[in-house]
Amino acid sequence: MRLMRKSKDIEKVLALVPNIFGYSGDTVNERQLLKSLCKGRRCLVISLLGITKLLKLKRYLNELYEEGWPRDALLIPMPTLLLHDFFVLMTSILVTPILWVLDGLMHFDLIYIRHSPLALGPLSVRSLSRKACVKLPAIVEDEVMKGKRVVSLIHALTDRFALAKARTVCVPTPVLLKKIAARRGLLPRRVAITPPGINEQKIRAVKGTHTSNTSENKGGYTIGFLGSLAWWQGADVLVKAVAKLKGMLDKPVTLLIVGDGPERRKIEELCRQLGVSCCITGFVRHEEALRYLMGFDVLIVPRIRTSTTESNVPIKVIEAWALGVPVITTKHEVYEYMGLKDGEDIIYCDPDPNDLANKILAVLKNEGLRKRLSERGSLLAKSFYYDDIALRLLEALREPYNGLRATGLD
């Protein structure tokens, strides 16, 4: 068996991902990680593309190159009927012979695949699996609504296959690694920790062009939510909390939701019922989302507790830290693992309207607290630059790794 080259010699990368076109958090995260991973290397990136997005492909490609997509990284969009897990699984099987031929011609050093359903086919071929690094970003069955047993079954089976066959498994945090290993009953051979991150150049650009937009200059407070409007995000809790702030502050309050999702109509109706002044932008480009985020007086992340939310730091929290925006969030296990201190690094809340309203008041009324959170956030963000994350991924491929031992969680 040919050993993988050391990280400094990894020159050819093949990436197979569900989607890098669009504006959702996981899409932005994957796109930025691949940009850093492909710097100075020959890369072939195959990204699935839903039929509904085909008409927007030219715009997406233009935006990618405007963002600085490496010119040496060849991007191949692969249309698929839907991006649902069953179709992704079928695509994985159908594309495997193509990957085998490409690897025979180009001799890739690393094959990076996001999500275990997409990895099923390549992991079935020994010459591909021994180079494969499969990313498991979540325990998916804990995020899907009840009644989607097929989705849960697919991920349970393909996660186990990835843990058994992939040379390396990528996870965002050691906390999630422990939960995946316990749920699936298997330890991976090697692990690389690849959290969501930030693009340093983008952050500097946003800070450099941002004009002062604090509550003192706006004539009111902007309470912000950024991300997909899914049931586990807790946006309904936020709306109810904002409704409780009426008459308790010296300036009017606006709830600004940057994003979209299946819960949008529910949130809009709840805002009307409770008389909450709310604006929902819909999906916007990443740079525009960062500019909106820079204008928040506080970012609220009232996520429901699931195995995934307990284990992962959202990209929006890291971006808020980098931009100096105070963050109020549900207290999750991952923050405790990181050693974050309530009132110094972040503000913890329960996913409950009363507690969240009290925490929002505490932040908005205390200028010293906001300043402290802003300063600490800027320091915390320095550990999450994408170039550093890509380097750590490559370094992890050099060393043998035995289960959970190196995480300190065994």
Question: For residue 170, what are the domain limits?
Answer: 7-197+386-407
pLDDT digits (tens, 9 = 90+) for 37-57: 998 899 999 999 887 788 888
CA distance 278 to 280: 7
Tens of pLDDT, residues 162-184: 999 999 999 999 999 999 999 99
According to the model, what pLDDT value does residue 218 have? 66
Q: Which helix (H) or strand (E) holds 13?
A: strand 12-17
Of residues 363 and 207, which shows the higher confidence score?
A: 363
pLDDT tens digits, one per residue of 78-88: 888 766 778 88
403 versus 108: the higher-pLDDT residue is: 108
* Same-domain status, 180 and 213: no
Give dist(CA 60, CA 37) in Å, integer.
20
Q: Are 346 and 300 in contact (CB under 8 A)?
A: no
Do 263 and 368 fall within a single domain?
A: yes
Report the helix count and the strand count for the chain, using DSSP H and E: 18, 13
Q: Is residue 166 part of a domain?
A: yes
The predicted model gives 58-76 an average pLDDT of: 87
Cβ pair 113, 133 in contact under 8 A: yes
- Residue 111 and residue 147 in one domain: yes
Instruction: Tell me whether residue 205 is in a domain.
Output: yes
pLDDT of residue 87: 84
Q: Distances from the Cα of 80 to the Cαs of 21, 83, 167, in angstroms?
A: 13, 7, 27
Q: Which two tokens stand for residue 375?
A: 């300063």
pTM, 2 dp: 0.87
Is residue 289 a contact partner of residue 295, using CB atoms and an 8 Å limit? no
What's phi and psi for 124, nearest 5 deg?
-80, -10
Would you state the pLDDT for residue 406?
A: 45
CA distance 395 to 126: 23
257 plus 310 within the same structural domain = yes
Q: Do residues 69 and 103 both lie within one domain?
A: yes
Q: In the prediction, which pLDDT does 400 show?
A: 64
Per-residue pLDDT, averaged over 134-141, amounts to: 91
Do 145 and 248 fall into the same domain? no
Residue 7: predicted pLDDT? 44
Instruction: Work out the average pLDDT over 131-151.
Output: 81
Residue 247 CA to residue 242 CA, distance in Å, equals: 11
**For residue 6, is pLDDT > 80?**
no
In a domain, 1, yes or no: no
* pLDDT tens-place string over residues 231-283: 999 999 999 999 999 889 989 999 999 999 999 999 999 999 999 999 999 98
Indicate if 290 and 275 belong to the same structural domain: yes
For the cut 60, the answer to whether the pLDDT of residue 356 exceeds it is: yes
Q: Are 99 and 122 in contact (CB under 8 A)?
A: yes
Residue 113 falls inside a structural domain: yes
Categorize the per-residue pLDDT at 2 as very low, low, confident or very high, splitting at 50, 70 and 90.
very low
Helices 116-123, 149-165: axis angle to 10 degrees equals 50
Instruction: Give percent helix, percent strand, percent coil of the chain, each to the nearest 5.
Output: 50, 15, 30
pLDDT score at 192: 92
Determine contact, residues 299/323, Cβ cutoff 8 Å: no
d(CA 70, CA 35): 6
DSSP structural state of residue 407: G
Q: Classify residue 2: in a domain, yes or no.
A: no
Amino acid of residue 354: N
Q: What secondary structure letter does DSSP report for 211?
A: P
On the question of pLDDT at 402 being above 70, the answer is no
171 shares a domain with 64: yes
Whether 86 is in a domain gets the answer yes
- Residue 410's pLDDT is 46
Q: Is the pLDDT of residue 405 over 70?
A: no
Q: What is the number of structural domains in the chain? A: 2
**Same domain, residue pair 177 and 247:** no
Best CA proximity match to 70, nearest among 387, 393, 397 = 387
Mean pLDDT of 17-25: 86
Q: What is the pLDDT of residue 4?
A: 42
CATH number at residue 325: 3.40.50.2000
> Under DSSP, is residue 372 helix (H, G, I), strand (E, B) or coil?
helix
Measured between alpha carbons, how far is 284 from 292 in angstroms, rounded to an integer? Answer: 10
Q: Where are the alpha helices (DSSP H) in 147-218?
A: 149-165, 174-184, 200-209, 215-218
- Binned at pLDDT 50, 70 and 90, residue 149 comes out as confident
pLDDT of residue 241: 97
pLDDT, greater one: 214 or 304: 304
Instruction: Say if 238 falls within a structural domain.
Output: yes
- Looking at the structure, tell me whether residues 231 and 275 fall in a common domain: yes
Residues 57 and 171 placed together within one structural domain of the fold: yes
How large is the average pLDDT for residues 133-159? 83
Q: What is the reported pLDDT for 145?
A: 59
Mean pLDDT in the chain?
A: 89
Q: Does residue 133 surpass a pLDDT of 60?
A: yes
CB 190 within 8 A of CB 401: yes
| Over residues 61-78, mean pLDDT | 87
Residue 145 φ then ψ, to 5°: -70, 160
338 inside domain: yes
Tokens coding 36: 């850093």
pLDDT tens string 101-116: 999 999 999 999 999 9
Give the pLDDT band (50/70/90) at residue 303: very high
Shared-domain flag, residues 64 and 140: yes
Find all residues with CB under 8 Å of 228, minimum gap 6, and list them: 24, 25, 259, 260, 261
